[in-house]
Amino acid sequence: MYKRLLRRLLGWTLALDVWVNRVYPADFNPLYYTGGLSNLFLTILVLSGIFLFFYYVPSFNDAYTSVQFITAEVPYGQIIRGIHRYAADGFIIAILLHFFRNWFTERFRFSRDEPWISGMMLLVFAGFIGVTGYVLVWDQRSALLVAMTGNSLASIPLVGGWLRSALFGGTGLTNLLLPRMLYLHIGPAVFLYILLWWHYVRIRHPKVWPPAVWTLFALGIVMLLAGVLPVTSQPPASALSTPGRLAVDWFFLLPYVGLKYLPPLGLILVGAVIVAYGLYIPYQLPETETELGIRDSGVAQVIDANCTGCELCYYDCPYDAIVMVPSPHPGVTKAAQARKLLAVVLESRCVECGICIGACPFEALELPRYLERDIHEKVLSACRSET
């Protein structure tokens, strides 16, 4: 049933691609650059965040005033604040599009489970960073968020109280709260780049940046929104009272709406199950017999005598599993005698997919348990079964 659903979702995703490709040239299709768009929004967030950081004061007395100072007094402060706010929404939208697109097109097969896992962690961290950002403003919404998060964490048996103290620096509102939130806003943002490195490390040609059309569009829309819908704070937080209503940002604070319908522990459990399922997605569908056959073909082997050092396999391998080294001796065939480089397969990275075999015009690579004669036999048996 899940497989059938996935097939249908794949069909819809590809149909959407076709439709967008009618409006935009294929190499401008934004759906092909959801990862790059996420990177663009992250860069906007970091740059605008550095600007805001210089003016922000993380203390109960001064946090709200410093944000108001940025908004009202600093030249273009309100625009930069708006850019930071709307780029954060864009970041989450782009990540979610990237997530669903790669899910529906099954881009988590073979060794692509690593980009998937790191991507899931990027999504979770991005959400967490967004929530800490809302607390930093220290308006009434911030106070309510701290209260709701604290109560939810405290409901976890055994470790709940400790978690709340670790996050907020104590059981009540302590002076450690805002410095800790500032650290938790910036520290994980740095960690995002480590996760991004992990996200890209096994991909040969990642599209890390969108085309100029979409870079300009994303920057433009963020600046336009910052000017037309300026970001404002709610009234300052008061130590004496906690507001009863939460002004919801649907991209970051949606989980908190769940507290209206679920007890805190139930909400945490639902969140944990969603994240755990997200991490499990690459392993949910067992590989088909064909895939298993390919997977069992053995690590690709370089036939030293034939390798010309042309680097085609090196560029084509999507898993970064082939490196070129200085050739210690000439090859045997005529084309290989003048070579300067030799291809070497990194066993730990090879997924036995056979792409390098197709890339090599000199028959210098083979999968030891999936040779040309094996393919011939498969083709013949397939033909026989058809007749």
Stretch that binds another protein, among 170-178, 196-204, 220-228, 332-340 (CB under 8 A): 220-228
Q: Can residue 87 be called a binding residue for another protein (CB under 8 A)?
A: no
Q: Can residue 27 be called a binding residue for another protein (CB under 8 A)?
A: yes
Among residues 230, 235, 358, 361, which is the contact residue for another protein, using CB under 8 A? Answer: 230
Q: How far apart are CA 204 and CA 200, in angstroms?
A: 8
Number of residues that bind another protein (CB under 8 A): 26
Q: Can residue 76 be called a binding residue for another protein (CB under 8 A)?
A: yes
Nearer to another protein by Cβ, of 228 and 240: the residue is 228
CA angle (103, 14, 111) in 5-degree steps:
35
Q: How far apart are CA 86 and CA 95, in angstroms?
A: 14
User: DSSP character for 32?
Assistant: G
Stretch that binds another protein, among 120-128, 156-164, 199-207, 210-218 (CB under 8 A): 210-218
- Residue 329 sits at φ, ψ, to 5 deg, of -155, 160
DSSP string covering 87-149: HHHHHHHHHHHHHHHHHHTTTTSGGGHHHHHHHHHHHHHHHHHHHHHHHHT-BHHHHHHHHHH
Stretch that binds another protein, among 40-48, 215-223, 316-324, 341-349 (CB under 8 A): 215-223
Among residues 48, 78, 142, 297, which is the contact residue for another protein, using CB under 8 A? Answer: 78
Structure tokens at 66: 């410093």
Nearer to another protein by Cβ, of 23 and 240: the residue is 23
HSE-CB of 370 using CA atoms within 13 angstroms? 22
Stretch that binds another protein, among 52-60, 100-108, 211-219, 370-378 (CB under 8 A): 211-219
CA distances from 131 to 85, 107, 205 (A): 12, 29, 33
In sign, the C-alpha dihedral spanning 291, 297, 300, 306 is: negative
Q: Can residue 214 be called a binding residue for another protein (CB under 8 A)?
A: yes
Among residues 40, 44, 70, 79, which is the contact residue for another protein, using CB under 8 A? Answer: 79
Q: Can residue 240 be called a binding residue for another protein (CB under 8 A)?
A: no
CB 169, CB 60: distance < 8 Å: no
Tell me how long the chain is. Answer: 387
Q: How far apart are CA 80 and CA 53, in angstroms?
A: 11
Among residues 75, 172, 244, 326, which is the contact residue for another protein, using CB under 8 A? Answer: 75
Q: Can residue 157 be called a binding residue for another protein (CB under 8 A)?
A: no
Q: Can residue 325 be called a binding residue for another protein (CB under 8 A)?
A: no
Q: Can residue 53 be called a binding residue for another protein (CB under 8 A)?
A: no
Nearer to another protein by Cβ, of 58 and 211: the residue is 211
CB 9, CB 104: distance < 8 Å: yes
Q: Can residue 216 be called a binding residue for another protein (CB under 8 A)?
A: yes
CB 245, CB 257: distance < 8 Å: no
User: DSSP character for 33?
Assistant: G
Nearer to another protein by Cβ, of 214 and 256: the residue is 214
Q: Can residue 227 be called a binding residue for another protein (CB under 8 A)?
A: yes
Q: Can residue 55 be called a binding residue for another protein (CB under 8 A)?
A: no
Structure tokens at 376: 């011939």
To another protein, the closest distance from the beta carbon of 290 in angstroms equals 34
Q: Which spans of this chain sit near another protein (rule: CB under 8 A)?
A: 24-25, 27-28, 75-76, 78-79, 82, 212-217, 219-228, 230
